[in-house]
Amino acid sequence: MTSSIIVPSQAVSDKVAETFNFNVDKRELYGPNGERTELYGLFRSDNNEQIADQSKKKVYVPHTTDDVIGLTEASQSVFTGEHVVKCRWRKGHHIEVQPSDEHRKSIFGTKDNIFPRLHIDASYNGKSHVTTLGLYRDACKNLEMFTMVSGICVKIRHSGNLRKQMDQLIEDMSRFKDGWENIQCHAVAMEEMQLNLHDYLAIVYPEPGDGATQRELSIRTNIVDKIKGRVKIEGYRTGRENPEDLTTVSGWQAYNGAQGYMLHDTSRRNGTTPFDRFLLMQQGSSGTRMQLAERTVFDMAG
């Protein structure tokens, strides 16, 4: 189930309520002879579809459709004007709110702008409820979310504290307005920093140590070449003065070259949408590498 529509901010919650017109119930599971167990299943109220791959314990507290509606309704305090709202059901509620163009911010010239996306990733499949304020660029197709910026991500576990935390988040949704201001300042600061791309990549993707095989050396060389190629292409695309000269670039260029490689080149087979790929890349070593790519810009600058 996927639905997308342009609506005024005050109608966002109505759109979500119309799309997700059912609840999710936690029901006790029984053994083959009707004996009671300590396990529970999650089922849609409209068609009885089981929606979780694994059974749940008694302490598991599912979020409700009203929670999701409340969050989207509260998002009206973050961004005004018309919104593009995308709703998708995939073992949970997945919502993307795209504010109007008035919230765009130029980072370089007229062709490298960023604009906000509010994501509500309310899965029931063993994951926390995540509300995220990310950004897209005109220059690429990837969703980004900084790790060094406050006020842009809230995670709530499906536990006994869910109700209290969810109500608090709905009440304090305006925090994401400050989050967008923080994102803009962070991106501008990265653009103002100048660094050596070769030195930057030596930190983010270090050369293999002594005794490395030819294959390991070739893999690292291919990664570096792809990132440099991405920086060069985006340089032409955004109107940089000398895109061929990659010796000194802005921190914004270097970071987007690295994270663009991580999000687009390494995970495309595993994610069908930019948000899917972004969630995958947040996990494990990939997420650590993304954090390193961002932090290194500021470490090199001073």
Cα–Cα distance for residue pair 117/112, rounded to 1 Å: 16
Question: Could you report the per-residue pLDDT of 17-67, keeping only the tens digit for each?
Answer: 888 999 999 999 999 999 999 999 999 999 999 988 889 999 999 999 999
Residue 8: is its pLDDT beyond 70?
A: no
DSSP code for 161: T
Q: What pLDDT is recorded for position 279?
A: 61
Query: Looking up tokens 């090199």, which residue turns up?
Result: 300
Q: Could you tell me which residues come within 8 angstroms of residue 156 by beta carbon, excluding any fewer than 6 positions away? A: 63, 128, 129, 130, 162, 165, 166, 169
Q: What pLDDT is recorded for position 23?
A: 92
**Where do the domains of the chain lie?**
2-188, 193-301
> What is the DSSP track for 208-238?
P-TT--HHHHHHHHHHHHHHHHHHHHHHHHH
The angle formed by the CA atoms of residues 173, 176 and 179, to the nearest 5 degrees, is 155
Q: What pLDDT is recorded for position 203?
A: 97
Residue 277: is its pLDDT beyond 80?
A: no
Q: Which residues pair with 28 in a beta bridge?
A: 40
**Distance between start and end Cα atoms, the chain:** 48
pTM for the structure as a whole = 0.83
Q: Please answer whether residues 94 and 88 qualify as being in contact, where contact means their C-beta atoms are separated by less than 8 angstroms.
A: yes
Give buried/exposed letters for 172-203 (b at 16+ CB in 10 A, else e). ebebbbebbebbbebbeebbebebebeebbee
The mean per-residue pLDDT over the stretch 196-203 comes to 97
Question: Could you report the per-residue pLDDT of 209-266, keeping only the tens digit for each?
Answer: 889 999 999 999 999 999 999 999 999 999 999 999 999 999 999 999 998 888 877 6
The chain-wide mean pLDDT, for the chain, equals 86
